[in-house]
Amino acid sequence: MALRRDVYGGALALLLLAGTCVIVAGMVRGSSSINGYFDLKKSQLVLSQTVAGLSRENNELSSEIERIRNSPSYAKKVLRDKYHVTEPDEDIIFFTD
Q: What is the dihedral of CA 56, 60, 61, 62, to 10 degrees?
A: 100
In a domain, 62, yes or no: yes
Number of domains in the chain: 1
In a domain, 10, yes or no: no
Residue 4 pLDDT level (bands cut at 50, 70, 90): low
In a domain, 65, yes or no: yes
In a domain, 92, yes or no: no
In a domain, 47, yes or no: yes
Which burial class, exposed, middle or buried, applies to 68 when counting CB atoms under 10 A from its CB (0-12, 13-18, 19+)? middle
Q: Which domain holds residue 43?
A: 38-84
In this predicted model, what pLDDT tens digit does every residue of 49-60 receive, in sequence order?
999 999 999 999
Residue positions counted in the chain: 97
Query: What integer pLDDT is reported at residue 7 of this predicted model?
Result: 63
**Does the pTM exceed 0.85?**
no
